[in-house]
Every structure is written in structure tokens, then in C-alpha cells.
Structure 1
Amino acid sequence: MTIKRVLTLALAAAAANFFSPVLAEELATCGQATYYPTEYTCHNDKTLCPTQYSLPTKPCAGSGGCYPPEQFSCGEDGVLRTLPSATSPFTLTVWGVRSAYRNQTVRACGGYLAIGANARQCHACTAAGGTNCGVYRNQTVFLTDGRMASAVPGHQYWYINPRDGLLAYTPALAPSALPPAANSTQVGWNATTPITYPTVPNQEFAGLNVKIHENGFFVWDKEGAMSHWWFACLVTLPGGGVSTARSWRIYAPVIPDKRDCELVKIVAKAQVDERAGVYKYV
């Protein structure tokens, strides 16, 4: 068998494996129409609405189209209204076209926020000083005033690094480095000037510009230009192969041409018990 023949068969096999999930999917019916269930959702056996980044959309009769329920609600009058801002603690989940991004819980470890099977959840607590470590759980929980749901003195804050868009969090900050107290009506904390993280020389962190919908999209607001998109960027840990020891870090689209990244959406699941957080994220 010639090398050309071997390559032809290999490419054919690869193509078959790549397309087999799509070809294997059976068509469903919605009224008089047929559709692929991974691409559309059928409502009342008559209306098809597209699935966007693995999130189904819904019909709104008054608007004449479909809408993402993570951004809008459809009133009885048929008018679309933007969801209210979140007011309670929340967790974050990432959604995307690839299965690796679907309903993936954002986890905190090492100052980074990431998703994936190898995205670790790192926290610590000691009983020194009478701390009752038993009252804390181990979820990555966020507060709308910019804090992480941690109880360590000085608090910890989530933020977007202005240089590369990395969604990250601080360790406990010294009192002199704390941002101004958040206004009770404010969504996210906004430092009037960058703050210096005390243990990393010359490292500045900007305030947040984030819109958080109640049980809806987690949106980056750059000077009034709302972006519903984020990047999930592949990180292979030292010693990890192509399919091992990988996670995806989350970035706001500050840099538009990041490598090994794909666009995703982030949903805030609100009304989470703050005590589901930890004593300290490490």
C-alpha cells in the first residue's frame, strides 16, 4: 500500500470521526418543521428557537423572535425587559459550543479563576484564634460588592486585570490597600484609582466594570460598551500532555486576538448562601 493511499485512508477516518456526532444525531419534529435538538429548542410544538453557546433561547410573542432568558424576561404584554441586577451572592458557570465549556463551574485557585476538570478549588482555614472552620463550605462564591465570599480579615476581591483582561482575585488585602467602601446600590466595586497589591511590587489592579444580571449573564462593561463575551483560554500545566492536566482561565476581551482561546458566555447563579464560600481562597 502506498504512502499516499495510507494518508488518504487516515484522513477519511479522521473526517468520519469528526463528523459522526452530527451525522448520528436524529432529526426531531416541531409542528411541520424538522430540526436538530442540539441546535434548536421546540416550544409548544410550533416555534423553533436557536441554541446559542449551548444555552436555549425562548420565544416572546410580542417581540416576534427568540430571546436569551439570561438577559431578558418576556412580560405578559409581550415586551422584553432586561433582567434586574443581582443583589445576592452568586456562583459563575461558563457556557460554550464545546462540551468542555458547558455548564462549567468557575473555581478559584492560586489567584486565578478557571474552569475544567483540572481547574482546582483551593481554600484554607485554621482554628487559630477560635475560628470555627466547620461553618464554611468549599464553593467559589462571589458578592456583588466585589468581594469573594471569604471571611479572612482584610477580605478578598475579584477583579479584571486591565492589562490582559484576566478574571482573578486577590488574597486578603492589608487595610491600607482596601478599595473604597462599595455603595449599597453599586453593582461591583469601582476603585476611583488603581490599588497596589501589597505583596507584589508595582502590580496595580483596576476596579471592576461588570454588570451582573440576577440569575443571568455576567457582562463586562468597558466604558459603556457592554460585552456578553469572555475568553476561555487553555492552560496546560507543567508535565501535562494534550489531554491531561488542563484547565481554561477566564479573560475579558481586552486583547482581541488571544491564542488558544474560544469565546464563551458566563452566567451568574444568584441567591447562593454566602456561607457556601470558604474562610480563605489560596
Structure 2
Amino acid sequence: MTVVVDENLVRKLIAAQFPRWAGQAIERWPSDGTVNAMFRLGDDLVVRLPLTKSGAKDIALEQKWLPRLAPKLPTPIPEVLGAGVPADGYPWPWSVYRWLPGENPRPEALGSPVPLAEDLAEFVLAMRRVPPVPAPSLAHRGGPLATLDAETRSAIESLRTIPEENVDCDAVLALWEEALRIPVWEEPAVWLHADLMPGNLLVDGGRLSAVIDFGCLGVGDPACDLFPAWNLLPADARGVFREALGVDDATWSRGRGRTLSQALIALPYYRTINEAMAGNARHVIRAVLEEVGWA
């Protein structure tokens, strides 16, 4: 299904369902994300509309769980102010949120990487401490690494056919197979954001100011929320992040393997259509190989 999501559609949806906000300026907000369209609504609000049916499930998940999680977390997260319904040819639920200031961090331009690592660890620890009952189902990517094996291997073979990316495919395959041999997580599942990419983090003055996009939310292996160690933080701050979380060797290795898998899958897919996603995938591959001394 192709859905045209533009300012005119947003204006009609707001006027019909939330007339108190009708007449406010609407401006599409540039985003590197691929699942939702974002529009500023006046100075204090943002409208988020899924572009796919799977994205609609993410919106429903956020509408249910964000209000319950927010009081338990040390970092601001999106606040749902309006739950929109399908109308005017738009087929899925959508949301109006309070606008959260800040900007997405970039690995090459972090102002305070060590304090940022401490902020990220504090958020992850707070998520883990939320009682897991009741909770949604298994988080996206929250299960055993083996569930990612076929897709990861396929991505590595794709990268072998793209020599200009200069990925050491033998090295990343060896690392992936090593990660698969690590024992699976057998302790109780914990709450996970499950998608702590730079595009889902906001910083202000170098410090973490908000965490957004909880569409992958669920419970599972805590290794799933170690993504920032390799997709954002330099080596010294990575060590601070690990120490603050008290991560054992097996969990750290599973987290590294999971982050590597995500990058390997993303790179051949996004390399010509989303430079931000492809660029971060390249960064992760370099960071992982450097950490194990294979770069």
C-alpha cells in the first residue's frame, strides 16, 4: 500500500481529531528514519505517522507503554498527547507527542563522550530495573543471536560482491561465528529499548537529553541494549559504559555480535538510499574490528 503523507494530510487529520491544535504551523521534520514520517506542529508538538503497516504496530506499542515507563526512567522519553485514528485515506493509528529538544549525536562529534556514556548506562540500568511483569512480548532483536544467523550470513555474502565497501568479510564472519558460540541468555528477561541507535538519542550540551522511538520495545537479553558501545562511543567511553553497567564477558560479546549483525545487514541495504544509516553501519564494523584487534 502506498500512502502519501504530507503537510496537507496532517493538517486534515489534526483539524478533524484534535481541533484545539488546528491552525498551528505544520512542517515536515527531516529524519534519517525509514518507518515513520515526522512533522513539527507549532513550537511544542510533533506528529508521528507510520509509513508502513509494521510501523503502525510500533505506534500502538508506544501509546500503551510509554506512559507507564516514563515515571520510572531518568531520561525524558516521548509523551503521547494525542492518539490519532485512521481517517482521510490514512489507514493506521498515529500519535501527537510533546516536542523534545536536542539533536542526534554523531560519533565523530561528541562533546562529552564519557559523561554521555554514563548517561546512557543510567538509562539502560533504569530500564532493566522496571519489573518485567506485566510487559510486552519479546523485543525486536531481543532473542538468541541464532535467530539473526541466516540474515547476517546473507548480508556478509552480499558485501563480498561490493568491493568498494572494503569490508573484511572473512574477519566479520569469523567474529559472527564466535558470537554464535557464546551461551545464550538464560536469566530472567529484562526491559529493553532494543534500538539505541544515534538517531533514537537526543543530546544537549553533550549530555543525553532524551531517548525516542520505542517501537522495538520489549523484554529479552540485556545484550540488546549495548548498541551505543559500538555505534556511538569511542573506546575510552565504551569502557566507562561497560563498567557502569557491570557487563560480564559473555553478555558483552553477545552485544558486540548483535551490533555487528545489525550493521552488516544495514550496510548493503542502505548504502545507496540512506547515507546516515549506511555511515553508521560502516562505523560499527570499524569499531568492532578495532576492539578485537583485527582492524
TM-score for the superposition, normalised by structure 1: 0.24
Structure with bigger gyration radius: 1
Give the strand-richer structure, 1 or 2: 1
Higher normalized helix content (fraction of residues): 2
